[in-house]
Amino acid sequence: MGLSEFFSNFKERQKLRKVEKLTSKLCEKYNQDYERYAAADELFEIGTYDALYGLLKRFTSHVPNVEQDDKEKRYVLSLLYKKGEDVLPPLIDFIKSEDEIVYPLQLLKKILGKEETLKVLKELVENFSAEYDRDPSKKIEVIKELSTYKSPEVGKLIFPFLDDPNDDVVLATIDAFKEIFLDLDEEDREKIREKLLNIFLSDEEKPRVERKILDFFMDLKLKVTGFKKSVAEKLEKPYYLDKKGHIKKLGMK
């Protein structure tokens, strides 16, 4: 190794250590707010991949004052947006590897637009585990985001989540389908209708999921055609089935 290469590597290590210290200062919830702001500004000025990833790490920490926390995160968001497409490599890597993605997804959409963002969301879905997640917040956030894309493609993408072992993920998926249901083709709508009825009629007791399914059918005025007898037998007050096969609730028109 030549002398110039040695000093170059030394400077890089120094810069990396500085970025690590600034990132730590930025994410320390017990620091003064002006200290976190100053750390954010320095990371922005350094502007390397590691520095921008360090800025993104602010979204993984929370200061006790919720209003201040949101204010600081929006400030960091504005700094990152100024970097334009230069922020995309660390931003996409962050979204793929970290759990706190609400603000980063906002930034990604702002820079790339919805259609290109959809490609990233599809990749996330493809890499999600089918196993039980103790913290399904990332999966739920992605499902919520996908529900803003009213297309048959999204319906097919989130359909497997109806079998997720975590009830919160299933609930989020039902909510998503409620948003996009009328934009799907008839074949997909029927597939979802039958799937939800089969979940409702399964032997596994999932009261929250069952109530969500009943509300889904009521809100969209769907019939239980083909399942009328089984559904009627399982329904308990205040729910009931009318003559046409619509699920109703006592006290509601």
Domain boundaries, the chain: 9-112, 132-253
pLDDT in tens, 186-200: 999 999 999 999 999
Please give the Cα distance from 203 to 221 (Å, whole number): 25
| Secondary structure, 3-state, 191-245 | HHHHHHHHHHHCCCCCHHHHHHHHHHHHHCCCECCCCHHHHHHHCCCCEEECCCC
> Interior CA angle at 149 toward 148 and 155, to 5°?
110
What does the pLDDT read at residue 252?
A: 67
Say what percent of the chain tops pLDDT 90. 85
Please give the Cα distance from 49 to 54 (Å, whole number): 9
pLDDT in tens, 136-181: 999 999 999 999 998 889 999 999 999 999 999 999 999 999 999 9
pLDDT band at 11 (very low <50, low <70, confident <90, very high): low
pLDDT in tens, 116-142: 999 999 999 998 987 877 889 999 999
Which of 190, 202, 203, 137 lies closest to 159 in space, CA to CA?
Answer: 190
The CATH superfamily holding the domain 132-253 is: Leucine-rich Repeat Variant (1.25.10.10)
| Residue 44, pLDDT above cutoff 80 | yes
pLDDT band at 95 (very low <50, low <70, confident <90, very high): very high
What does the pLDDT read at residue 131?
A: 81
Which of 148, 143, 162, 140 lies closest to 213 in space, CA to CA?
Answer: 162
| Residue 79, pLDDT above cutoff 90 | yes
